[in-house]
Chain A
Amino acid sequence: MLEVSNLACSRGDHRLFSGLNFALHPGQIMQVQGANGSGKTSLLRMLCGFMMPDEGTINWCGGNTRDLEEDYYAEVLYLGHLNAIKDELSALENLLISAGLSGVELDEKEALVALRRMGLRGRERLPTKVLSQGQRRRVALARLLVSDARLWILDEPLTALDVGAVALIQELMAEHLARQGMVIFTTHQPLQVDGVEMRSLSLS
């Protein structure tokens, strides 16, 4: 489980938040709320270890994530504002590589199944530069299907997605939580996951 204690973050001279405490247990989902510029993305990036907290600690299963390093990273799936997709590569190649980078060896069949579930049938082998914004986001989101990470950290996962895709994401989250996974995310769109209590964390 993820435990955050007394976390503080500042950008330049500006203190975004301080004294932040929360814990996320298996099967729980939490939405980080706050106005633009309140530090939502910074918090998520801190949880990923990209940023060093000014104060406080982030613990994973009792150990400090700073010391766990790769053992912790293996448990994390992060989806940020950037899709981490190469224009020159096809959707299939992109998924195979991003799965490979997260330590999962995928064969082509598994990858194709995942892409089709994301609604990309017939576009698997096109270079992603010809895909629309929403389709590119779907390619990035296909990683949710092929990852075995326990902690999902999703920064605005719903941007550029249509209604069908949003429903699919909600379904994937529900599956992940049912497997005792954890989700922490931000969104400006309504998102519900059936049968699970949605916790929320407000940054002001």
Chain B
Amino acid sequence: MAINWFKYSAPTTFYGLAGKLIPWFAISSAILFVVGLYIGFAVAPADYQQGEFYRIIFIHVPSSILSMFLYLVMAGYAALGLIFNTRLSAMMATAIAPTGALFAFISLWTGALWGKPMWGAWWVWDARLTSELILLFLYLGFIALHASIDDPRRADRASALLAIVGSVNVPIIYFSVKWWNTLHQGSTIKFSGTSMHVAMQQAMFITLAACWLYAIAVVLARVRSIILERERNTTWITELPEVRS
């Protein structure tokens, strides 16, 4: 079965495809959120050390994972866009950035909420939290650079290069921050249970999947509006039913 993937790399066809896919991703994400959070907050038992506080990990961990993962996906799309000069890849990278930044922010916020009962301080210079903060800075840099260049092609290419440089730097930053943290014997967030309860695992995986699907749905929706904006002068846009009305 040969699928012509390049057909979908054209904004024209992708616009329609994305429109059809968004409801599926959005609905399944919502269902999984409800199920995952129900298991996480109602079914899973309290942790023997951290009591009820630990339950914030069902939001904290998925958003941390996704914020890092999305940066790599963003850099990947950026690289594709630079190498093959495909417009859609650059649009995808641009569309992913705000969602990635949002997840990084949620991860920091929930990390702080978790830190208060754990260490009595809203912010501890834990290696992972610090890396997450730097990741947020990298996202903000990408968004700011893209926003301050008027010419869309230059904006795409310049921010793509920045994303690639950033993704090369992320492991170095993470390693150096970890090194710095152990040197200063800072606190490290560790989940106590080596044997995680099955319900905890389930809740974690389900919320992770929900966040993932949410990210896909939101990114697709954002790509659609970017396509509309960039291609506003083409005939196929003006012939769209939602534009004509």
Q: Do chains A and B touch in the complex (CB under 8 A)?
A: yes
Contact-residue size bin, chain B (C-beta under 8 Å from the other chain): under 10
CB-defined contacts of A12 to chain B, threshold 8 Å: 151
Instruction: Write out the residue numbers on chain A whose beta carbons fall within 8 Å of the beta carbon of B85.
Output: 52
**Chain A residues within 8 Å of chain B by Cβ, number:** 3
- Contact sample, A vs B, 4 pairs, CB 8 Å cutoff: A12-B151, A13-B232, A13-B233, A52-B85
Residues of chain B at the chain A interface (Cβ within 8 Å): 85, 151, 232-233
* Chain B contact residues, majority secondary structure: loop
Q: Which 4 A-B pairs have the closest CB atoms?
A: A13-B233, A12-B151, A13-B232, A52-B85
> Which B residue's beta carbon lies closest to that of A51?
B153
Residues of B within 8 A of A13 (CB): 232-233
Point out the residues of chain B lying under 8 angstroms from A52, CB to CB.
Answer: 85
Q: Output the nearest chain B residue to A11 by Cβ-Cβ distance.
A: B151
Chain A: minimal CB distance from B56 (Å):
47
Chain A residues whose C-beta falls within 8 Å of the C-beta of B233 in the assembled complex: 13
Q: For residue A146, give the distance in angstroms from its CB to the closest CB of chain B.
A: 34
Report which residue of B85, B232, B233 has the largest number of chain A beta carbons within 10 angstroms of its beta carbon: B233
Give, as a whole number of angstroms, the nearest-CB distance from A153 to chain B: 22
Taken together as a complex, chains A and B put the C-alpha atoms of A13 and B233 apart, in Å, by 7
Distance in angstroms between the alpha carbons of A52 and B154 in the assembled complex = 11
- Which residue of chain B has its CB nearest to the CB of A15? B233
From residue A46, how far is it (CB to closest CB) to chain B in Å?
A: 14
In the complex, chain A residues 36-55 whose Cβ is within 8 Å of any chain B Cβ: 52
How many angstroms from the CA of A13 to the CA of B229 in the assembled complex? 11
Q: Residue of B at shortest CB range from A54?
A: B153
CB proximity of B209 to chain A, nearest CB, Å: 40
**What's the least CB distance linking B102 to chain A, in Å?**
30
Contacts of B151 in A (CB 8 A): 12
Residues of chain A within 8 A (CB-CB) of B232 are: 13
Across the interface, name the chain A residue whose C-beta is closest to B232. A13
CB distance from A124 to the nearest CB of B (A): 39
